[in-house]
Every structure is written in structure tokens, then in C-alpha cells.
Structure 1
Amino acid sequence: MLSGHTGGDVVRHSEMFPALRSRGLSVERTAEVLGLIGVFLDDRPSSFDRWLESKLDGLAAGIRRDVQDWARLLHDGGPRSQPRDVATVWGYLNRLRPALLEWSNRYDHLREVTRDDVLAHLATVHGSQRRHTLVALRSLFARAKKSGTIFKNPTSRIRVGQQESGVIQPLESEDVRSSVAAVTRPADRLILALAAIHAARPGAIRRLQLDDLDIGNRRLVIDGRVRPLDELTLQAALAWLEHRRRWPDTANPHLLINKQTALETGPISGVSVSAALRGQTATLERLRVDRQLEEALVHGPDPLHLAEVFGLAEKTAIRYAESARMLLGEAAEQSAQ
């Protein structure tokens, strides 16, 4: 790639495929090296830009400008706002597109949309879909009002409503056993233990560092919270550390690595964390929820205890406590009968 390079030249991503593919070399790794020495130019069109263009297609020009400005602010952030996760932007715009297309048939600008228009569209969706749609509409119109393209926010004083949550149910023993049988690799066994015993989220599992595991003192630090290291997790961790020695020269500080991340310093992907339990009823998320519910059932439905043990937010801890209280009440009634 650098055979004809002179000072000031750059290597474009579009130029790399012919030279590298015939030699079976990694474009990603080559781009990384060229980027480190300052001669790489990524000229690929952004996947987000392509997606956004497709979602803006069919909108009236004035509505399109406001929606594009709002979506880019969500994605890229601004002077007083942090960038949002791309999945949030996708979800917001996908949810609003039917309404935006309908309004584009009648209006040229968002400032023509009335409160009645918003209520009419909200009447077509129900439950969580209504709540999510209203949240997205509020975000869009708040941005348009701040930028001065509308004079009045038509979503003002429209209540989102309180989300009613059902009783959290424990997992069936057969489902848990099926997930335990599905994990055969040392890394997957450790991941399952972290979720099922310590209620660790997939993101927290990915972020774990080697220094977070203190085998001598039987402690584990998950997202800043110190937890005792039980025997099952300890044995899973020891088995994984033995397996991890196949990459003795890696500089990656994360506890969990694979053959790709052993050459880097970043965490494994979310797909790598959840792959072993794909298709199982007892997924990592369900196991995490089940562990927190079990704590409430065994030690009593005390929100303060749950918040202290797992670092839960107040409302989340109360929900687990209420579910445990109802389940315990049902069990008592059945026993009495």
C-alpha cells in the first residue's frame, strides 16, 4: 500500500481492497496501522448517513430539514448534549416515520402540525408503543422549538402515563438447566456465572478487567461494586484464566478476551458475550433478572437490601420487591389451601 507513497499522500479505504484481498490480508488491520501513522483516509459513506437518507425519503422538504437536524443531533451530540446510542436514534425515527409521512401529505413544515394531529396519531398506538412514540415526538418538537423552526410545541401537556409493569416471574428449573448445559467453553461458563450469581449485565461483563478479579482475597469488582467471590464463580474464573494463557503476550487488560481482542486492548463484543445462550429461554438477561428476584424471595422483599446488593435504582428495587411480595403471598395462599 505504501510502495508509491510520497509525503502528504494518503491511502484511501476504497483503494485497499484490490491490493489486500488478493493476498488474503485484513483490510481492517491494515487500516488501523495506516491510521496510526497518519496516512489513512476512510472515504466510505457512513452507514448511518445511508440509513438516515432512506428514512427521510418521502418527507416534505420543511419537515425533512427539521427531522434531519434532530436525528443528527441525537447521533452526533452537540455543545450541550451527549450523543445517543445509535439504536435509540433508529428506534425514534422508525417509530415516527408513519406519522411524518402522513403529515407530509398535508403539511410542508412541522410548525403546521397541531396538538390534534399528535393526539390523532397517538390514538392509533397503544401501551408501550404509545409511550415510546410520545417520548420520540417530544424530543423532535423540543429540538425544533429550540432551533426556532416552530413557535409552539404541540406535544406540551400530553401525558406519557405511568407504565404498568407485571409481576416478574422466576425462571423454570428446566430452563436454567438447559442454559447450563449449553455452555461448554471456559469463557461462556464464567459469563453464565457472572450473570446468574452476581446479576451482572452483559456490558458490565465485557468491561471487567483482570484487576477486578482478586482471587487471593476472594473478591470481584463489578462496575465499581465489590462482591464476594463464591466457590462456583471462583472455579469458573480459574478455568478461564488457565485457558486465557494461550495468549501469553496480549496487552489487553480485560478479563475476557478472544483471538481478535487478544491483538487489541478493547473488550469483546456483545455478540460474543451472549452467543452461547442464543435461543435459550434462560438468556443472560433473564438469568440476571432471576437472580435479583431470588434475592428478594430469599431475604425478603426489601428494596433497600436489593439496592445495596445489586446497585439497583430506587424504582427498579421497588419493582423487584413488589413482585417478590406478590409471589410470596400467592405461595402462602396455596399452602393454606
Structure 2
Amino acid sequence: MPTGLPSDCIAGLLDRLDDPRDRLIVALVAIYAFLPGQLDHLRRTDLDRSKGRLRLRRAGRLGHVIYIDAFTLRLAAVWELQRHQRWPDSSNLHFFVTRNTAVDDSGPPISVGAVQSLLQRVGLSTGRLHVDRIVDEARHSADPVQLM
């Protein structure tokens, strides 16, 4: 049986980061079990802050709607503001961009490697965080169908 991460590992995770994009990425991974390959597919239009929803795109399937808590919505608002201030003329439709992808006319997404590098910097792997979130959900749900 997989074990969850100790809560002290997750608690100070965001405190180690200054960049709003990085804080939001780590929050989405640590709280909602996003994988790097899911983060790079997010589009700016996938977030509906007024309704607190984020649409997760899945290859070959319909999107999945995730309801975002107020804390994560605040992180998203700070990232969107910073993104607009840094690259006001960026036409990249992806939600997460870097200094290179924001100004690239072909509109590439952030790379999976950039997300993995960020998580390695704070000392966690996406696989470990993903398992932790699933184990935590299993502790709170007696319904295996709902968990799946």
C-alpha cells in the first residue's frame, strides 16, 4: 500500500517559492494531483475564476472540471496579473508560459521538464505528490468508484 507524504513536507512547500507561477504549479500538483503533462495542456480559457472551476484537458476524451479552493484561486489571480505585467502582448493561449514560450509566435506550452525541474528544486517528485493526493482522498472516501 502506498504511503502519503508527511504533512510537514507539504506544509512549507509554497513558502520556499517566490515566483507566482511556480507557487501555482506546486499548489495544483500538491493539492489537486495534477501531473506535469496535464499542466502543459491548460489554456488561459480553462480557468473560470468567477465560478472557481478549472477544466482539465484529457487527450481523446472530454475535459474534466475541477473545483478550485479560494487559496488556489488567489494564487491563480496573482500569476495571471504577473503574466500580464511581464508579457502584455503575449498571444500564447497556454495558461503556463516561460520567458521563452510567452513571446514565441507559435504559442508552445511550458515544457514538462520545466515543471519537473521546479518540483525537484523543492525536493519532491510529481509521482510522489500524485500518490499522496490519491492516498489522502482514499482516506476520506469509502467509495472506491468515486475515488476512481
- Under a length normalisation based on structure 1, what TM-score does the superposition of the two structures give? 0.40
Decide which of 37, 59, 71 is 1:232's aligned counterpart: 71
How far apart are the structure 2 equivalents of 1:261 and 1:279?
21
Q: Distance in 2 between matches of 1:230 and 1:304?
A: 23
Q: Distance in 2 between matches of 1:266 and 1:298?
A: 38
- Structure number with bigger Rg: 1
Query: Secondary structure in 1 aligned to 2:40?
Result: helix
Match runs of 1:35-46 below 5 Å: none
Q: Of the candidates 240, 245, 248, which is equivalent to residue 88 of structure 2?
A: 248
Match of 1:200 in 2: 34
Q: CA deviation at 1:184?
A: 2.0
Query: Are 1:181 and 2:35 matched, yes or no?
Result: no
More helix by proportion, 1 or 2? 1
Q: Deviations over 1:44-103 (max 9, x none)?
A: xxxxxxxxxxxxxxxxxxxxxxxxxxxxxxxxxxxxxxxxxxxxxxxxxxxxxxxxxxxx
Could you tell me how far apart the structure 2 residues matched to 1:197 and 1:295 are? 11
Structure 2 residue aligned with 1:277: 119
Contact 2:87 2:103 survives alignment (8 Å) = no
The structure showing larger relative contact order (alpha-carbon pairs under 8 Å, at least 6 residues apart) is 2
Preserved CA contact (<8 Å) 2:14 2:27 = no
TM-score (norm 2): 0.86
Output the CA distance in 2 between the equivalents of 1:270 and 1:178. Answer: 23
| Partner secondary structure for residue 288 of structure 1 | helix
- Secondary structure at the aligned position of 1:257 is classed as coil
Distance in structure 2 (CA, Å) of the matches to 1:221 and 1:189: 19
**Which one-letter code corresponds to 2:38 in the other structure?**
A
Give the match for residue 214 of structure 1: 48
Extract unaligned runs of 5+ from structure 1.
Answer: 1-166, 308-337
Residues 231-284 of structure 1, C-alpha deviations (whole Å, 9 max, x = no match): 121011001001101101111000001110012201011222122221555323
CA deviation string 1:268-322 (max 9, x = no partner): 112221222215553232222211111110122x321112xxxxxxxxxxxxxxx
Higher share of residues assigned strand: 2
**What is the aligned residue count?**
140
Summarize the Cα distance change of 1:293–1:287 in structure 2 as closer, same or farther, 3 Å threshold.
same
CA distance in 2, matches of 1:197, 1:272: 19
Deviations 1:162-216 (A, max 9, x none): xxxxx10010123223533332210111101111121111100111000100011
Q: What is the CA–CA distance in structure 2 between the aligned matches of 1:174 and 1:293, rounded to whole Å?
A: 16
* 3-state SS of 1:263 partner: coil
Which structure 2 residue ranges, 5 or more long, are not aligned? 58-62
**Residue aligned with 2:55, SS:** strand
